[in-house]
Structure 1
Amino acid sequence: MSNIKLIIEERPSNIGNFMVGRLLPFREKRMVGPFSFIDHMGPTLMSDYENLDIPPHPHIGLSTLTYLFEGCIMHKDSLGTQVEVRPGQVNWMTSGKGIAHSERTPEYLRHTNKMLHGLQIWVALPKDLEQMEPEFFHADADEIPSWEENGIQYKLIAGEVLGHKSPIPVYSPLYLLELKSTAKTNIKIGDRLFGESAIYILDGGIESEENTFGPKQLLVAKENSLCEFTMLENTTLYIFGGEPFPEERFIYWNFVATSKELIEAAKTKWLIQEFEPVPGETEFVPLPEQRL
C-alpha cells in the first residue's frame, strides 16, 4: 500500500510583479505540521529594467523563512532590520503580534540582468506565542548544519532532526531538510523523523513504491514518518514537517491566527496604518478586498 497520501502540483500565483509556484496551502491540505505556506520563486531571469519590488506588507502569527538558490533580496522590516539575503543564507522573521517588511532587488543589481530563485515559507506559531514580540534572525550559509550520509549531501535549514540542530530559533518541533544526490541512492530516514512529513522535489526525481515523481511535486506522507524511497541521480529535494498544532489555523492574506478575531484586528490595524512603519519606505501594499 502506498504511503503517499497526497500529490500537490505547483500552481502559478502572482505576488505583485512576480510569479511564483504555490505549494501550500492546498484545498485538501492546508498545513504540514506547522508549515502553512510554501512558494517556489523562479527560477526567473529578470532584465535590467525588471526588479523584485514588494512594498511593505504586514504579518501576524507566523515566522517567515526565505532561502535562496540564486539571486539576492534586500529585506527591510519595521524592527529597523536591513539585510541582503544571498544564496544559502536563511532569513527568519517572526511576526508574532505584528510586523511589516519589504522585499526588493538590491540597489546595485537594479540595472543589470539577474536571476532570482528560492523558497519562501511560513511557519505558524503555537497559540501561546502567536502574540509574542516580533523578532528577526539571519544565518549565513556556513552556519547551517551540513553533512554527508551514504553519498547524500544533507543540510538542516531549520529545526532539529537526525542528530543535528539548526541555529534558526524555531518555536515548535519541526524540520526543514535539504538532500542532494549525485548518484541513484536509497533513502530510509523515516524512522528518524516525527510528526507530519512531506517531500518537495526541486530537481531530478524519486522512485517510491514503483512510481516515479519529478520536479515541482509535493508528496505528503500518510503516516507520521516517510517510507523508504530512492533518489535519482542529480536530485535536490526538501523534506519538511513536524508536530501539527491541536487548533485550527485561519489564513487571510498575510495573517495566520487561531481566531478570526485576531485576523480582523490585524486587518483594521493595517487599514488605518497602525503597524510600525518600515524605515526608509513610503509605499505599502493595500489590504485586499476578500472575505475571511
Structure 2
Amino acid sequence: MTNDDLIDRIITPTTHDLGGFKVHRTLPSKPHQMVGPFIFFDQMGPAHLDIGTGIDVRPHPHINLATVTYLFAGAIDHRDSIGTFARIEPGAVNLMTAGHGIAHSERSPGDERAHGPELSGIQTWIAMPEDKEEIDPAFEHVAKANLPLIEAHGATARIIMGELWGQRAPTTVYADTIYADILLAPGASMPIDAGADERAVYLAIGEAEIDGMPMAINTLYVLKPGVAMTLRSANGGRVMLCGGEAFTSERHVWWNFVSSRKDRIQQAKEDWKAGRFAKVPGDEKEFIPIPEIPKTATYP
C-alpha cells in the first residue's frame, strides 16, 4: 500500500519553549481538531531540569473535559479543588474529570527538585459526550501495576485506557477510547488493529515506521479507518496510540476550556475572572490569570 492508503493526515507539532523544557502540541490543529475523543495532545520534554528548579503550573481551571497525564520519566504532584493530592510517576495514569468545573495545579515534588527533576511524558485532554459534560468533577489515579502490559516479539504495550489486544485498562472512559504506550526494542514490531472509529500514532522517542513508512519525531499520524497496520522499529522507539469513538458534534476550545457550547466557555471565563471556581487546598496563594490571547483556541 502507498502512504495515502495508510495515513489520513500528518500533523506536525507547534513547539513552545517553556524555559528548561519544550512542549510539542499536535492537537488541536487547524486541519484536524480531534482523534476520537482526544482533543488535546502535548508531549512534555524529555528534559533534565537544573537542581533546585522544577515545573510549577499554578492553579488554573477546566470545564467539560478530562485530562490524562502519563509520564515516561520524572514525577508531578497534582492538587485540585475537590481536595485531591496525588503524586504521579512513570507508567501510572492520572485522570482528572473537570465536569462542570475544577481547578488544579501541577508541580515538581521537593525531592525531585533536590537532584534536578526529569520531565518526560504526555498530557492529553478527552472531550466529553454532551450528556456528560456537566457531571461532577472527579479524580482517578491508576497505578502502573494495574494497567495491562502486553509483551510480544520485543515490544511491550501498556494499555492506558480502553481495550486493546484483548485486554482492558481499568481507567474510566466516557466514550469509546483507546490509548496505549508502545515501547519497541530494536527489531521489534506491534500490530495496530482496525477496530476503532479513529486512530493515530505518535512517535515520542527514538525511531519507528508504520507499514514501512518512516515516522518523524513528535509528529501525529492520523490513520485511515478500517486498515490494520504494523509498527516496527529498527533501532528502538516509543510510540503512543490514541483514538476511539468519532464525535458527531463540534467542540469549542478556548484556553483550558472545552465545550459543545460557546456560551458555556464564556461563562467559564467570567467565573474564573470573578473567582467563582473553588480554590485548590494547599495551593491557594497563586493562580494563572485569563490570557488575552490563548495558545489553545477554537479552530473552525
Unaligned runs of 5+ in 2: none
The equivalent of 2:187 in structure 1 is 184
Structure 1 209/136 Cα, relative in aligned 2: closer, same or farther at 3 Å? Answer: closer
Offset of residue 153 of structure 1: 1.1
Q: Work out the CA distance in 1 between the residues paired with 2:186 and 2:19.
A: 39
Is contact 2:108-2:117 (8 Å) kept?
Answer: no
1:60 aligns with 2:56: no
Q: Work out the CA distance in 1 between the residues paired with 2:71 and 2:271.
A: 31
Deviates more, 1:178-187 or 1:249-258: 178-187
Question: Which of residues 188, 202, 205 in structure 2 aligns to 1:203?
Answer: 205
SS at match of 2:266: helix
Q: Matches of residues 1-292 of structure 1 in structure 2 within 5 Å?
A: 1-2=2-3, 3-13=6-16, 19-191=22-194, 193-208=195-210, 210-281=212-283, 282-290=285-293
The letter of the residue matching 2:277 is F
Task: Kindly provide the CA deviation profile for residues 202-238 of structure 1, in whole angstroms up to 9, marking residues without a partner as x.
Answer: 2233334553223222111122445344333422111
Is contact 2:20-2:49 (8 Å) kept?
Answer: no
Offset of residue 34 of structure 1: 0.4
Is contact 1:187-1:231 (8 Å) kept?
Answer: no
Q: Work out the CA distance in 1 between the residues paired with 2:31 and 2:225.
A: 16
Offset of residue 108 of structure 1: 2.7
Task: Kindly provide the CA deviation profile for residues 178-221 of structure 1, in whole angstroms up to 9, marking residues without a partner as x.
Answer: 22222324443323x31100001122333345532232221111
Offset of residue 269 of structure 1: 0.6
Structure 1 17/154 Cα, relative in aligned 2: closer, same or farther at 3 Å? Answer: closer
The letter of the residue matching 2:252 is F
Q: Which runs of 4+ in 1 moved over 4 A?
A: 14-18
Task: Kindly provide the CA deviation profile for residues 249-289 of structure 1, in whole angstroms up to 9, marking residues without a partner as x.
Answer: 00000000001011011111101010111012211100111
Structure 1 118/49 Cα, relative in aligned 2: closer, same or farther at 3 Å? Answer: same
Task: Kindly provide the CA deviation profile for residues 137-170 of structure 1, in whole angstroms up to 9, marking residues without a partner as x.
Answer: 0011101110213432111011122211111111
TM (norm. structure 2) is 0.91
Is contact 1:203-1:214 (8 Å) kept?
Answer: no
Offset of residue 15 of structure 1: 6.0
Q: Work out the CA distance in 2 between the residues paired with 1:230 and 1:48.
A: 37
Offset of residue 25 of structure 1: 1.0
SS at match of 2:269: helix
Q: Work out the CA distance in 2 between the residues paired with 1:17 and 1:136.
A: 29
Q: Work out the CA distance in 2 between the residues paired with 1:76 and 1:118.
A: 18
Is contact 1:197-1:226 (8 Å) kept?
Answer: no
The letter of the residue matching 1:125 is M
TM (norm. structure 1) is 0.93
Is contact 1:200-1:237 (8 Å) kept?
Answer: yes
How many residue pairs get aligned? The number is: 291
What is the Cα-based RMSD across aligned positions, in Å? 1.9
Task: State the identity %.
Answer: 37
Structure 1 210/67 Cα, relative in aligned 2: closer, same or farther at 3 Å? Answer: closer
Q: Work out the CA distance in 2 between the residues paired with 1:204 and 1:42.
A: 13
Is contact 2:102-2:278 (8 Å) kept?
Answer: yes
Task: Kindly provide the CA deviation profile for residues 46-73 of structure 1, in whole angstroms up to 9, marking residues without a partner as x.
Answer: 1123221111000011110111111111
Offset of residue 177 of structure 1: 1.3
Q: Work out the CA distance in 1 between the residues paired with 2:206 and 2:159.
A: 20
Structure 1 114/97 Cα, relative in aligned 2: closer, same or farther at 3 Å? Answer: same
Structure 1 260/181 Cα, relative in aligned 2: closer, same or farther at 3 Å? Answer: same
